[in-house]
Structures are given as C-alpha cells and as structure tokens.
Structure 1
C-alpha cells in the first residue's frame, strides 16, 4: 500500500473515538496525555507548507508560534501564510493580536495552551508551527512542568543548508519588495524611532527608518541609495535571524535533549516548479507524515481499557501494524 493510500485510510479514523472494526465495536482508548506536533526551523525553510501538508494527512488545526506573525498587519513583510495557502485549515494566533501591544512568552504559553485544549476537545491534532523557538521553549519547559504533564509532543525540524538558505532569503526579500512591501511598511514608520515593542520589531520596520525619514528631503539618487541600503539590511538581518534560530534548535536538541526529527529540505531548494514540489513531497512531506503517524498510533501514551469485556484496541508496534489498523 502506498503512503498516500495509507494516510487516506488513516485519517478517516478519529483520533479518539469508538470505531467499528471487522464487525466489532472497539473500546474508547484511554489517553493519559494529548498529542501535539511541533514544526520547527529557520525562517524561509517551508515550515508553514509542511504544517498544511500534515493537516491534509491528519484532522488538524494549526497554532502559529511566530512572535511577529501573531500581530495584525504587515502580511507581506512577515510572510504570513495567505488564506488561499491555508486551504481551509483553521489557524490560531495568526494575525490576531494588537500590533502596538507586546505579546510575551507568557502570553503565548497561556493562549496556545487554550488553543490546544480547544483543538483536542473536538478530536483534532494541534500542530504548532513557527520560528520563534523561545516561545516553544517557554511553552514546553514551563516552570510548573504543566505542558509535559499533560501532553506528548513530536518535533519536526525542516532544515536547509546555510548557503542555499541565504540565497533564498535574499531572493524572498526581493520578492517582498516587488509585492509592495514599501507601501505596507510606511504606516508603521515611527518618527520617534521606537521599534522595541509589538510589530515594529519586525525585520523591515527599523531597517526602513532612514528611508522614510529622509525620502522627502533628498534627491532621487540619494533616495535610491537609501532604499538599496534598507533592502540590503533586511537581507542581512533576516540571515542573522535564521542563524540565531538554528542555534536555538541546536540548544534544544543537544543541551535540553529534546527529541527532534530533522528533515533535510536542501534538495528542494535546488529545484524549481513541479520538480521541486515532487522532491518536497518525497523527502519532506511524506517522511514527516510517517513520523507523525507513528507518534500518534504507536505512542506509549495509548493504553488499553481494562474495564470492559469488549475487544481492546492494541497499541501498534510497527509500520505494518499501523497499516493494518488503518485498513481494518
């Protein structure tokens, strides 16, 4: 059976429910902990794309963990996933917060936990996606051990080699510019130069301060130089952010000992069009889906009911068991 057929049958089974199988009604599985999937990676590596792919395999809803995309506004500059790209998958904490009020790690922990409870409450899988690893750390390694006591989590890391990623980041900033980035940024220019709170911390806002401050007082040549300087600073600072994000992932993986599954998407970024899409599916989307399937259906948090005489749902131990469970 192909992976696509396996997943198609797998997602027809509710994550937590009574289901008929071979004429018998299986007991409700007793879940000690709920399951949560995290999609991590540096900026521009394809995290949002992977989260949508996973949501098409499993009944899911997505929680944004990008600390800038949480704010309303600057959709181009912050590279928010569009409504069309969301493909009808519910998104939480995406463009929902006042851009002038700081959204802290504590705020994220509170709001994301509430979203997780809401999502799992109607049988869906929460997928948390974003590049702000400090938010994820604050959620998972909270002082009260609240998250780990209530949830099991699976971490997927979309990685791209540094030279390839840097070239793509520069290309993406150019695309933002061509898509109307300047007009989007202009209302967020602050004459006092305070870019320390809310959405004004976004890469692009402080970098364009000199341009907006001087554009009305300089000639066209100088204006062009200021514009080129601002765009170049955006590219450099986005690259610095990517390196910082990778450093944080390394810390979580090798110091805090998080179990993180790395997916190398580098070959995808060397291709274009249909070939890139096919490569993404083969080396990122499908392997990720299998990792999540094993996490959900081969997890130690699923236990048999001991209070009923009906047939119990056994914990699958292998991929073949997963397929058998999916087709019963």
Structure 2
C-alpha cells in the first residue's frame, strides 16, 4: 500500500470515473486503474463497484476512502513539518475567494504577495461561501477568504479586516438629504440587493431586519454585481448598500451619493478560513500578514458592529 495508491483511490471516489480521475491526477488511465486494482488485490476487497455508472463505492470502500483521506492528510503534514523546520514558504497553494470580495481585495495584495513569496504557486478561485466550505473539507483548496463568522466545527477563522457598509443614495431619494444613515432608516423594500447566494445580500437583509422600519413588500430588484446595483439606483429604482472597498473605485460623480452610517457602523468581518488541521499553515500565515498589512491602511474605521453573513444570526 502506497500514498500514491490512496491518492488515486480518492480521485476515483471524487470523480466516480477512472478516466477523469486519471486526468485530474496527471497520469494515464491504465496506470491509475492498475494501481487501484493492486490495492484492492492486496486488501482482498473491492473498493469500487465498476458495474455502476457512475462508478459506485462499496460499503467497505467508503470506510477505506475515509481512512485514506486521513492518511494522505497526515502525509502532507509531514511535508509541512519539514518545510516549517527549514523556514521554506513555497509550493502550490489554492485560495478561494467569494465574489463580493475578490474584485476589490485581490488587486490590493496579489502583486505584493507573489513578489515577497516567489516560491509560492498561488492558485486563485472565485467561489461561493458554500463551495469554499465544501472544498476546504474535501481538501480541494488550502484556504478561503469569506465573510464571517461562519461557526463551522472543522474550520478556523482568522479575521483580516472589518469592512463597513456604505449607503449609495441617489439624488431625489427620501434619504438623499441625510448626512449620515442609521439602520432604522432602511426600508427593505427600497434596497436593491445582490441575487441569492451572495453572503453580502444576507448581511444586508439581516441589517434591515434588525431595524425598526420595515415593509411587507418583496424586493423589487436583484443583481449579480455592485456596479449594476449602483446604475439601477441612479435610474431611480431605489438605494443600495456597498462594501467600503467597493466605494473606492467609484468615480467622483457617484461618490457624492455615498452616505456613511452613524457609529457603530454596520460592517462585515472578512476572514481567512482554513481547515483546523492547519496544513500549509506557513503559507496561510504569510497570506494573512500581507493582506492585513495592506488593508489596514485602506480602512480607517474603528467603531463597527459586525453583521452576520448568515441569515437569522
């Protein structure tokens, strides 16, 4: 039994197809199939039911796959121990970032990080929070950047920064002459929202639901981008809320429509999240140091109230 064989087993279990598993493992299909068969012969059990389409996993195979994940992770940990002892920060590192954070945060830190740590091969994916959680559990990504708290047992959360919500209120709106906003000013039927699946949307709903002023009307419009929400707002379709870093990219004409909240300002907590096993922790810590150092200078707000990205919390 070898680590490579267990890695092949995990690939087949994930993709339920020998050809696709071989492609993802960067080996030929006959090589992968032969190694899986050798392991089955050695153990004298069938791990996979090849008669099914897609390939099924036998009952004993499910137990073997679970244990294989633990063994492969521990093998990776040995590499980590050696790297940390040598002070080496390098190798592949896959980072997932949610869509409402990636466009503003990535340009701020990417060049600095790859310049400071040239031996790290940073692989970046834009993913929903749900996919981040699943991929961290399955070991498909090493860390993620998401709005927290998530309070998931197997995930560690390391806050990077606290990003205030900012109102975008066009001229002619009922709040257009207000110097600052308060959550009690918000009417949920009047706030343009991102579409379902975005945690920032959930945070806005939670903020509006905590205010005294509410409406029984349904949301009129939903969109997949903050730029669209701003443009719709300018067309008189309502107001919207933006994360603070997104407001830095607006042109001068649009910035005049921005309105900050009274202290404590509602804000989202943005964290680096990763598995509690802490694999590749030296790279995770390097990322955290670089991002925190850069964003600290961009966000000067201190008095904030964290709005949960999870509905009902």
Q: TM-score normalised to the size of structure 2? A: 0.28
Higher relative contact order (CA 8 A, sep 6+): 1
Q: Where is the strand percentage greater, Structure 1 or Structure 2?
A: 2
Q: Where is the helix percentage greater, Structure 1 or Structure 2?
A: 1
Q: TM-score normalised to the size of structure 1? A: 0.27
